[in-house]
Amino acid sequence: MRSCASSIATPGELQAYRKAYSKFGEVSGMREIIIKNNQTNKLYGDGDTIFGSMVFGTETDIIYNNQINDFSTLNTTNFFSVPACLANYITPGKRPGSSMVPLIMFDQNNQRVLQVLNANGGTQITTTTAQVVMLNLWFRKDIRQAINTPRLHSQLLPEEVLAECGFNQTILEQLKKLGHNIQCDVYRRSIVQSIE
């Protein structure tokens, strides 16, 4: 763990990398590191989809990412139903558009780290992170309950609200009355990692 953490680029190195290769101003794949109780802990980086490409390196013991899914190709949608976008087509040396919401929560009184939270899962990263934090902080669920509670997700296209199986039916009925197209999502597309 320590040798892995020490090999991660510093912010200055990321700036140089960003200028050279990124058209979107953000570099996908880096997440946060925090030192807690004198141990370095790193939350998993961007695999894009659950278990990344589903290819395991036998020499490296790493599950390879599926970041290629973040690029657009003509007349297609990606794994997360995002339609193709000309600005996101594959070109040599280019990084795809991507999402990340690394979160470190502090106790405001003593600056003690309360929690480190991260998610992967394409377009669902932002809504997943927001819902887990809301359930943990506002509704006082412990972090495991907050992560395991069924979630909602909506994005610009397609025009639908994905509800994980088991989501509160009363809320879903109210959303239907407001005109939302509710679709049951049979499996979880966004995974959350947390250190408390």
Q: Is 81 annotated as a binding residue?
A: no
For 33-100, the DSSP string reads: EEEETTEEEE-----SSTTTTS-B-TTT--BPP-GGGGSB-TT-B-TT-PBP-GGGB--TTPPPP---
- The closest alpha carbon to 53, from 67, 42, 41, belongs to 67
Residue located via tokens 């809320």: 171
Structural contact between residues 114 and 104, judged by C-beta atoms closer than 8 angstroms: no
Query: Distance (Å, rounded) from C-alpha 37 to C-alpha 39?
Result: 6
Chain position carrying tokens 């819902």? 131
CA distance 97 to 113: 30
Q: Is 122 annotated as a binding residue?
A: yes
Extract the annotated binding site.
Answer: 70, 98-99, 122
Extract the annotated binding site for L-glutamate.
Answer: 70, 98-99, 122
